[in-house]
Structure 1
Amino acid sequence: MKLVILESYVMHPGDLDWSGLRALVDDTDEYVRTAYEEIAPRIGDAQLAVVNKCRIDEGVLARCPGLRWVGIIATGTDNLDLEACRRHGVKVANVPAYSTYSVAQMAFSLLLAVCQCPERQDRAVRDGYWQLQVPPGYGILPQVELYGKTFGVVGYGNIGRQAARIARAMGMKVLACTRTRRPADAAGGVEFVELPDLLAASDVVSLHCPATPATRGMMDAAALARMKPGAILLNTARGALVDEAAVAAALTSGQLGWYAADAFAVEPLPMDSPLRTAPHTLFTPHVAWATGGALQRLMEITAQNLATFLQGHGQNIVNP
């Protein structure tokens, strides 16, 4: 069988490679990045493909009749038309939970940076300033203690639960809003509430749900108006969950205290995005998932996904 890797940039050269996948097949083609119009020609007559952000839809599938398996090196499948894949007899396997600890960690990295400005404090010290002598131009705001504050988790999957554990370890009260609740969740010291109640009560709201028709744009002007004035919104999930123009307006008015995000509706973040000129923002370029530990798990699970498919059954199939 032939395997086509369409986005090899996901792995850091010298740290991790695709040898685990190559060892499973006779023929492998590898491309660093692939534009949409290049997807079908590059897959060609291959039976197997690995993607990250590439869009696999009816137009691609119609031109690749030999394709039988797509491995997405991610958890989310927003860029794949799963129903079209099912119609064409293409199984899609994702990689669940590989980045749980890294993404939850990033949520708190952003939160702590907002609350205590360590990078700005570091620049001030290096420039010769100390404590209350730091000029206003450094943008250092009063520090915020998280102990006793309320942390609202929207989406209580693997990452949401890990974020809740971290928040509780820091002495925060945790509220959670989730579509599905597991029996064991009640023992975690977390109070489950509806979204409007969570928004009204939380000092920090952290998004950890997938982008679905029900959740896209959920953090719109109305939702932001329900939040505590000056609250912090964290998004390490999907950019599509928020109305970015509404977030920028809420930041400008002061209704929203901070917006810290690792994911955006359009990536890279457009230069004309209203978020770029809004006050009190902190951004990272969608890299929460890319720690060494997470990437190692990503590669191992992707190789297992392919190996089990070749053995005749397949694991982590999202469109059975």
Structure 2
Amino acid sequence: MKIVMIEPINISLLKIEEYRQRLEVEGHQLIAYSNRAENESEMIKRAEDADILIIANQPLSAEVINSCQNLKMISVAFTGYDHIAVEACQKNDILVSNASGYANQAVAELVFGLAIDLMRKMKESDQAVRAAKTRKGLIGNELAGKNFGIIGFGSIGQKTASIAKAFGCNILVDNHKKYKAGEEMGVEYLAVDALLKKADVLSLHLPLKKSTKNLIDAEKIALMKKTAILINTARGPVVNSKDLAEALNNDVIAGAGIDVFEMEPPIPKNHPLLNAKNTILTPHTAFATEEAFLKRAEIVFANIEKWLTGDPQNVIS
């Protein structure tokens, strides 16, 4: 089988060589590109003879997929797969597996980095020290005892909840689906609107679908407490950025920590959140730790090896 890593997945050349040797022993070929293709024509050139593709979060269109006559399997080095033309994969009988679970810890940890930064005014405190000022106006709030709301209670949402529990928070979860882990942690299940009204911190962990696009808009934000903060490490379009920026600038809520946008960074200079008050913006780094990248690579290649033996895992299509 010809296996093509169409874009880098943030592991060392030494690690790639280990995987290459592992696959060659079984008679397979691995071609790994060290940069992203600049356009679809280049993507087609790289992928057209591949039996298996490895891709991270670069969009993979139906045009590229339909050009790959030998393609049988795609191993996505990401949890989300909305950047893959899944319908084209289904039409061409191409199996798709994702790397679910690799960044649970990384994403959950950044949630609390953003939350604590906002609640304890870390950015402003740093600026105050550098400007020879005191803590005046910088008295923050503790996480302990706060209502920590989570919308999207999959593996990352559950990991986030477990950390929130350790901080002494009351865990609120949308009642879309109930999990055993929620029962063990003693979470309170609420309808979304009720959760929004009660949460002191709202953390989003849901996939991007038609039903979740712009889920958090002006109407939903208006339900939240004026002292609440919003954290989005899920998908950018789940939140209406324009509505959020207006809400922040009008003190409808107290702050927001945003790691994801409608596009991959760099974001345009006129993006509404760049001029919003009380925000911390990070360039889609929630998943990006050295530990997570190593876990991700292991899952990506395990997906391929399991598929080759007729026992596919992490199948999404």
For the criterion TM > 0.5, the same-fold answer is: yes
For residue 156 of structure 1, what is the aligned residue in structure 2?
A: 153
Q: Distance in 1 between matches of 2:188 and 2:32?
A: 49
Runs of 4+ more than 3 Å apart: 122-132
Q: Distance in 1 between matches of 2:299 and 2:156?
A: 17
Amino acid at match of 1:156: F
Deviations 1:59-111 (A, max 9, x none): 11221111111111001111112221021121111011111111000000000
For residue 304 of structure 2, what is the aligned residue in structure 1?
A: 306
- How big is the shift at 1:5? 1.3
Residues 150 and 172, structure 1, Cα contact 8 Å, conserved in 2: yes
For residue 315 of structure 1, what is the aligned residue in structure 2?
A: 313
- How big is the shift at 1:287? 1.0
1:28 correspondence with 2:31: yes
Amino acid at match of 2:258: A
Amino acid at match of 1:81: A
Residues 257 and 281, structure 2, Cα contact 8 Å, conserved in 1: yes
Q: Distance in 2 between matches of 1:300 and 1:306?
A: 10
- Are residues 304 and 246 of structure 1, via their aligned partners in 2, closer, same or farther at CA, if it must alter by over 3 Å? same
Residues 244 and 275, structure 1, Cα contact 8 Å, conserved in 2: yes
- SS of the equivalent of 2:298 reads helix
- How big is the shift at 1:297? 0.8
Deviations 1:199-251 (A, max 9, x none): 00111110011111111110011111111123100001110110000001101
Amino acid at match of 1:11: N
- Are residues 184 and 110 of structure 1, via their aligned partners in 2, closer, same or farther at CA, if it must alter by over 3 Å? closer
- Are residues 43 and 283 of structure 1, via their aligned partners in 2, closer, same or farther at CA, if it must alter by over 3 Å? same
Q: Distance in 2 between matches of 1:192 and 1:2?
A: 47
For residue 90 of structure 2, what is the aligned residue in structure 1?
A: 86
- Are residues 226 and 173 of structure 1, via their aligned partners in 2, closer, same or farther at CA, if it must alter by over 3 Å? same
TM-score by length of 2: 0.92
Q: 2:53 aligns with which of 35, 45, 49?
A: 49
Residues 58 and 84, structure 1, Cα contact 8 Å, conserved in 2: yes
Q: Which stretch of structure 1 is more off in the superposition, 300-309 or 104-113?
A: 300-309
- How big is the shift at 1:34? 1.8
- How big is the shift at 1:272? 1.0
Q: Distance in 1 between matches of 2:189 and 2:49?
A: 49
1:76 correspondence with 2:80: yes
Q: Distance in 1 between matches of 2:197 and 2:44?
A: 48
Q: Which runs of 5+ in 2 are unaligned?
A: none
Residues 213 and 238, structure 2, Cα contact 8 Å, conserved in 1: yes
Q: Which runs of 5+ in 1 are unaligned?
A: 133-139
Q: Which stretch of structure 1 is more off in the superposition, 118-127 or 278-287?
A: 118-127
For residue 4 of structure 2, what is the aligned residue in structure 1?
A: 4
TM-score by length of 1: 0.91
Q: How many residues align?
A: 310
Deviations 1:264-317 (A, max 9, x none): 112212211011011111011111111122111111111111111122232111
Q: Distance in 2 between matches of 1:125 and 1:155?
A: 38
For residue 65 of structure 2, what is the aligned residue in structure 1?
A: 61
- How big is the shift at 1:254? 0.6
- How big is the shift at 1:124? 3.7
- SS of the equivalent of 1:85 reads helix
Residues 156 and 178, structure 1, Cα contact 8 Å, conserved in 2: no
1:209-288 matches, cutoff 5 A: 209-268=206-265, 269-288=267-286
For residue 144 of structure 1, what is the aligned residue in structure 2?
A: 141
What percent identity do the matched residue pairs reach? 33
1:103-122 matches, cutoff 5 A: 103-122=107-126
For residue 290 of structure 2, what is the aligned residue in structure 1?
A: 292
Q: 2:16 aligns with which of 8, 12, 18?
A: 18
Amino acid at match of 2:289: T
Q: 1:193 aligns with which of 185, 190, 195?
A: 190
Q: Distance in 2 between matches of 1:131 and 1:227?
A: 28
- SS of the equivalent of 2:145 reads coil
- SS of the equivalent of 2:15 reads coil
Deviations 1:91-137 (A, max 9, x none): 111011111111000000000111113344345435544444xxxxx
Q: Distance in 2 between matches of 1:183 and 1:156?
A: 11
- SS of the equivalent of 1:256 reads coil
Q: CA RMSD in A?
A: 1.8
Residues 35 and 54, structure 1, Cα contact 8 Å, conserved in 2: no
